Amino acid sequence: MSNRISLTRYLVEKQRLDDHIPGQLRLLLEVVARACKTISHAVNKGALGGVLGSAGSENVQGEVQKKLDIIANEVLIEANEWGGHLAAMASEEMNNIYLIPNRYPRGEYLLLIDPLDGSSNIDVNVSIGTIFSVLRMPEGDRGVEENDFLQPGKCQVAAGYCVYGPQTTLVLTVGDGVAMFTLDREMGSFVLTQDAVQIPADTREFAINMSNMRHWDAPVKRYIDECLAGKDGPRAKDFNMRWVASMVADVHRIMTRGGIFMYPWDKREPNKPGKLRLMYEANPMAWLIEQAGGAATNGRERIMDVQPTQLHERVSVILGSRNEVDRVTQYHLEAG
């Protein structure tokens, strides 16, 4: 019991040892973790807390907002805005960037959030989560603009997610590997339960929404067809499939045991690069996956190299076990 390492201790020791975590960033991560605890409690209460169902509004992407999408967004804003560590925030659930009110000091960091990932699973009691990405505010004594957020994923200084499942687990990177913390509800603290997470390079598991098969591009179809052919096919092994439809849960499975996750571009919306959002879904997950030895591309390019042009822009996502991601990427490059 006494040698348990709390998130606080983990961050303090990291700050002391290698200066990976400046004071403001440490505060930011503690505050995000605290907000995730609050969201976790709301999620657990479910119908008893009156948090299920639709809020009756739409977000900038035209998705119907659930009550918990809005509650989680508000919890994250209220927890973060007064601490003096943020210059501004951006969220899936807010059309425009959120500026820190003048009554609070302005900090050095930009926080991007998917407050509640897996909205379609809220009402059916299946794992959901929160995803976050942290960037540094570019230098300059001026107001914050949307442009300041438009940095490629490789500029992130911290990224993580919290999955609200049978356990509540916070998964974090500050650029020197991936650590997992499990929420101890009695103690009210996140406890380090796995450090230096590594994803196996090979896998027999894929995660993709198969109902979109008829809309896929040829390289994706080729890869999945080969997986489905099993032992007798070119891959000479049987594959299993899982699709939770909460990116956090699907990625968490891969973090734990390997696998490949894909939400590729498809013909339903030919003018959009994909369904998932680059800045607060794909980038943080891509960095976590790379930090755990995996890979993440949009089929042609490393996700973290993509230069964003819009806050809410979308991207094709292929991530997970390195050898499988390399294979799918190769199929795209061969197709030209």
Q: Which residues bind Mn ion (CB under 5 A)?
A: 63, 92, 114, 116-117, 119, 281
What tokens appear for 160 in the block? Answer: 């993580």
Q: Which is nearer to ligand AHG, 92 or 205 (CB)?
A: 92
> Considering CB distances under 5 to 8 angstroms, the limit depending on partner class, which of Mn ion, ligand AHG, none binds residue 263?
ligand AHG
Residue number, 117 or 290, with CB nearest to ligand AHG: 117
Phi and psi at 207, nearest 5°, equal: -130, 115
- On whether 209 is known to bind a ligand per the annotation, the reply is yes
Distance between CA 13 and CA 17 in Å, rounded?
6
Phi, psi of 265 (to 5 degrees): -50, 145
Those residues with Cβ within 8 angstroms of residue 81's Cβ, 6 or more apart along the chain or in another chain: 89, 98, 100, 101, 104
Q: At closest approach, how far in Å is the CB of 249 from Mn ion?
A: 11
Beta partners for residue 174, in sequence order: none
According to the annotation, is 108 in a ligand binding site?
no
Stretch that binds ligand AHG, among 9-17, 102-110, 216-224, 243-251 (CB under 6 A): 243-251
Does 119 show up as a binding residue in the annotation?
yes
In the region spanning residues 150 to 179, those forming contacts with ligand AHG, defined by CB under 6 A, are: none
Helices (H), the chain: 7-18, 23-45, 67-80, 146-149, 218-228, 247-257, 283-291, 322-335
When asked if residue 118 is in the footprint of ligand AHG (CB under 6 A), the reply is yes
At residue 122, the 3 state secondary structure works out as: coil
246 in contact with ligand AHG (CB under 6 A): yes
Residue 301: CB minimum distance to ligand AHG, A: 20
Binding flag, residue 263, ligand AHG (CB under 6 A) = yes
Q: Scanning residues 23 to 82, which ones bind ligand AHG (CB under 6 A)?
A: 63
CA distance 100 to 85: 10
> 226 among the known binding-site residues?
no
Tell me which of Mn ion, ligand AHG, none is bound by residue 209, counting a contact when its beta carbon lies within the kind-specific cut-off of 5 to 8 angstroms: ligand AHG
Annotated binding-site residue? 95: no
DSSP letter string over 88-116?
EEEETT-SS-EEPPTTS---SEEEEEEEE
Q: Is 120 in the site for ligand AHG (CB under 6 A)?
A: yes
**289 token code pair:** 């996956």
Q: Which residues pair with 263 in a beta bridge?
A: 317
CB of 30 to ligand AHG, least distance (A): 24
Q: State how far the Cα of 108 lies from the Cα of 35, in Å rounded to an integer.
A: 20
Alpha-carbon span 83 to 111, nearest angstrom: 13
Binding site, annotated residues for substrate: 117-120, 209, 275
**Which residues line the annotated binding site?**
92, 114, 116-120, 209, 275, 281
Q: Which residues are annotated as a binding site for Mg(2+)?
A: 92, 114, 116-117, 281
Residues that bind ligand AHG (CB under 6 A): 63, 92, 114, 117-120, 209, 245-247, 263
